[in-house]
Amino acid sequence: MDHPVSAHLPTSVEPASEADPHRDDRGVVTALARGLEILACFRVGESTLSNTELAQRCGLPKSTVSRLTHTLTKLGYLINVPTTGRYRLGTSCLALGSAMLTRLDVRTIARPLMQELATATGLSVSLCVPHKLSMIYLDHCRSVQTLSLTLDVGSRIPLATTAVGRAWMASLPAPERAAVMQQIEAADPQAWPAVLQGIETALVEYPKVGVASSFGDWKKEVIGIARAFSPGNGLPNMAVNLGGAAYNASPEELMKDGVPRLIEMVYNLESLLHRGVR
């Protein structure tokens, strides 16, 4: 599956050079956008970050970041650790995150279908949503055979080299997909030729097979297939991933047995969502 074998493995970080898609939108409040970018810098497994680290990740001057972290601390979205001067997420973030996940009905509807698929295949199933050049785990289910694969809600994996990211990209209209691909190229021009080859293969594979795959493209020991869907209700396209460590299944087994099961599961999920079961 396209996820960390351990929740403590390094997660992807958005490069400071990544283009701001809202920079030309006069309706965007820049200070608010930058404050939210600060909060989005924190990753699973990272307890604290310094102003310098935040500045590097956001591509902002340290002086600007210092003012933002001061404001966010006053509002309870960050906590300043006195002994180190570093910052950790505050309880106001917890309240926002808990409220969002509790009210995200797609998770409630998807979970029994995901668990059924995980049990039937002996693999792991994850529900993901995009954020910049990453896919974020909203939920995951696993069978007893995959207890060694540890996941956390909120974990991030790369968009370009994982099955779930490629499936999501394949579901986009061509202009939106082209914009995303430009951002991926700008983030790492040296790796782009190999990354592009994997994306193009997925774009051919997806309409033919119904899924996108990644067999060791992100991590050698990880394989996965994924299918995207539209949850409706104003939410962005999401994707469901099926897979696991390479020792749990071969690519051939995953394509033969997993593809029809995953397609059926996502079809059933979309039917429930669009039927108005919210």
Each residue of 68-111: pLDDT tens digit? 999 988 888 888 988 898 988 776 776 565 555 545 578 889 99
Measured CA to CA, the distance from residue 166 to residue 203 in angstroms comes to: 8
Percent of the chain exceeding pLDDT 90 equals: 44
Q: What is the pLDDT of residue 36?
A: 80
User: Is the per-residue pLDDT at 13 higher than 50?
Assistant: no
Which of 102, 51, 52 lies closest to 72, judged by CA?
51
Higher-confidence residue of 38 and 98: namely 38
Q: Which of 151-155, 234-238, 260-264 has the lowest mean pLDDT?
A: 151-155
Helices (runs of H) and strands (runs of E) counted in the chain: 10, 8
- pLDDT above 70 covers a percentage of the chain that reads 81
Distance, CA of 18 to chain centre = 17
Instruction: Please tell me the predicted confidence (pLDDT) of residue 100.
Output: 54
Confidence (pLDDT) at 42: 77
In the predicted structure, residue 11 carries a pLDDT above the cut 70: no
CA–CA distances in Å: residue 271 to residues 19, 106, 187, 264: 36, 12, 37, 10
- Residue 46 predicted with pLDDT over 60: yes
Whole-angstrom distance, CA of residue 257 vs CA of residue 246? 15
Residue 255 has pLDDT above 70, yes or no: yes
CATH 1.10.10.10 occupies which residues in the chain?
30-97
Q: Where are the alpha helices (DSSP H) in the chain?
A: 30-40, 51-58, 62-74, 91-103, 105-121, 163-170, 174-187, 192-209, 251-253, 259-274
258 DSSP 8-state letter: I
Cβ within 8 Å of residue 115, ≥6 positions away: 125, 141
User: Which CATH number is 104-274 given?
Assistant: 3.30.450.40
Which residues share a beta bridge with 78? 89
Q: Are 16 and 56 in contact (CB under 8 A)?
A: yes
Model confidence band, residue 149 (pLDDT cutoffs 50, 70, 90): low
30-97: CATH topology is: Arc Repressor Mutant, subunit A (1.10.10)
In the chain, where does the domain assigned CATH 3.30.450.40 lie? 104-274
pLDDT (tens digit per residue) in 161-212: 999 999 999 999 999 999 999 999 999 999 999 999 999 999 999 999 999 9
Helix or strand (DSSP H, E) at 247: none
Give me the chain's average pLDDT, please: 83
Which of 154 and 99 is assigned the larger pLDDT? 154
pLDDT computed for residue 269 by the predictor: 94
The span from the CA of 260 to the CA of 233, in Å, is: 27
Q: Is 154 left (phi over 0), alpha (psi -120 to 50) or beta?
A: left
Q: Which residue has the higher pLDDT, 18 or 211?
A: 211
Q: Does position 21 have pLDDT exceeding 70, yes or no?
A: no
- Between 13-17, 72-76, 263-267, the lowest mean confidence (pLDDT) is in 13-17
Q: Which of 157, 159, 194, 164 is nearest to 262 (CA)?
A: 164
Q: How far is CA 107 from CA 100, 134, 239, 253, in A?
A: 11, 19, 12, 27
Q: Is the pLDDT of residue 39 over 70?
A: yes
